[in-house]
Amino acid sequence: MKAVRIVVGILLAFVLGGCWGSHDQGASNPATLRVALLPDENAATVIQNNQPLKNYLQSKLGKQVELVVTTDYSSMIEAMRRGRLELAYFGPLSYVLARSKDPGVQPFAALVEQPGGPPVYHALVIGNVAQHIAAIPDLKGKTMAYGDPASTSSHLIPKS
């Protein structure tokens, strides 16, 4: 996971370095880049785990970087819409939701596992072995727990 974050950071730095700009064409080039992170752990741990990304972006862009841990995708979308963030990582569903609220939200990078590789997206369904769940059809009639309603992999796809 750490390697993926570093690869994303490198990709973001190259893209931002070459085509910096806000989704609001009238906005100035901010001195501080506010980067949204999802709380997959407690906020302090998320911030600590993303220090290499912050340091890399600051060194390559010559800007201050503020890491912002949002409570969920919906709060990230709202913060982006209100101009409180310059950068956020959205999955497919959260991007569509963000774009529907603010047509100025523009994708400019995709997650890759290795530089020059194709964009990737992974999701898992984890089942209790005691419930004899070995394949998707085994889920029929079982109770499911879902994640953030704006998440592709923990909400939209499992409910489809």
Residue 103's Cβ-count burial label (10 Å; 0-12, 13-18, 19+) is exposed
More reliable by pLDDT, 13 or 137: 137
CA distance 79 to 82: 5
Residue 27's pLDDT band, with cuts at 50, 70 and 90, is: low
Spell out the domains of the chain, with CATH numbers in brackets.
Answer: 2-101 (3.40.190.10), 129-159 (no CATH)
Provide the residue count of the chain.
160
* Lowest-pLDDT range of 16-20, 30-34, 48-52, 121-125: 16-20
Q: At what angle do helices 92-101 and 73-81 cross, to 10 degrees?
A: 30
Reference 151, options 66, 70, 50; nearest CA is 70
**In this predicted model, what pLDDT tens digit does every residue of 32-73 receive, in sequence order?**
999 999 988 899 999 999 999 999 999 999 999 999 999 999
Q: What is the mean pLDDT of the chain?
A: 82
